[in-house]
Amino acid sequence: MDYVALRKKMVEEHIIRRGITTKRLLDVLLKVERHKFVTQDLSDSAYSDFPVPIGEGQTISQPYMVALMTDLLNLKGEEKILEIGTGSGYQTAILADLGRVVYTIERMKNLGKNAFCLLDTLQYTNIKTKIGDGSLGWPEEAPFDRIIITAATARMPLPLTEQLKEGGRIIAPLGQDFSQILTLGEKTKGNIDYKQVCGCVFVPLVGKFGEKEK
Ligand code: SAM
């Protein structure tokens, strides 16, 4: 399988064609080997335009959604980023290549362990990891320049908005089940102004400040 060609096709057809043109981001999407973040039997689907199962009922997000959320974070290279929902670790790798340091939290022990181990193997040295309820944030390490939640919740978890730095950005799918809106917030003078971006579908954020476990 020619993965370099598949990544080029993914970036051209699913990312650039939909209007994302930030060069730093496109370069990273061309570099990160997405097929390594899914199980071997699904590696052919890794570059397709849909989420792929990663076990435990969870998914690696669609490439376009990863690109869109990252682009909206407007990373310049110096940011301290908090990611909630490590999943496969693919989004984490993209963030680590574009920001200064990434703090990532995954709720499911096995998924987290696999992703953290893979990121280690890929020699990322600017990623701090934790298993736990990300809806509580990471208060000991706050504040953060950017916060990204890759699971859906009815409202922005309060601890996370409190842990966002002045001038910082937070992004999350807000809503429930199949009706969610990707929402971007920016903190100015202690308040967060929210902008709705587009409809999306994510697995739920399960936790104290998220959804109840079903
Ligand atoms: N961005 C990931 C990737 O690139 O593979 C995909 C994330 S997946 C759509 C959402 C993840 O959020 C799942 O792995 C799920 O277990 C995790 N999750 C849900 N609730 C959580 C919580 N309260 N804290 C941390 N992780 C959570």
Whole-number Å distance, alpha carbon 88 to ligand 1 midpoint, is: 8
* Per-residue model confidence as pLDDT tens digits over 32-67: 999 999 999 999 899 999 889 999 989 999 999 999
Q: Is residue 117 part of a domain?
A: yes
Query: Taking a C-beta distance cutoff of 8 angstroms, is the pair 163, 82 a contact?
Result: yes
Instruction: Please indicate, yes or no, if residue 20 is contained in any of the structural domains.
Output: no
Q: Which of 43, 45, 48, 61 is catalytic?
A: 61
Active site (annotated) includes residue 61: yes
Question: pLDDT tens for residues 78-116?
Answer: 999 999 999 999 999 999 999 999 999 999 999 999 999
Domain that holds residue 164: 65-200
Which ligand 1 atom sits nearest the alpha carbon of residue 202? 9
Structurally, how many domains does the chain consist of?
1
In this structure, the residue with its CA closest to atom 11 of ligand 1 is 85
Output the residue whose Cα is nearest ligand 1's atom 20.
205
- Whether residue 45 is contained in a domain is answered as no
Determine if ligand 1 sits within 6 Å of the CB of residue 60.
yes
Cβ of 81 closer than 6 Å to ligand 1, yes or no, is no
Q: Residue 91's domain is classified under what CATH number?
A: 3.40.50.150
Model pLDDT, residue 121: 98
Chain centroid, CA 50 distance in Å: 15
> CA 81 to CA 170: how far, in whole Å?
10
Cis peptide leading into residue 143 (ω within 30°): yes
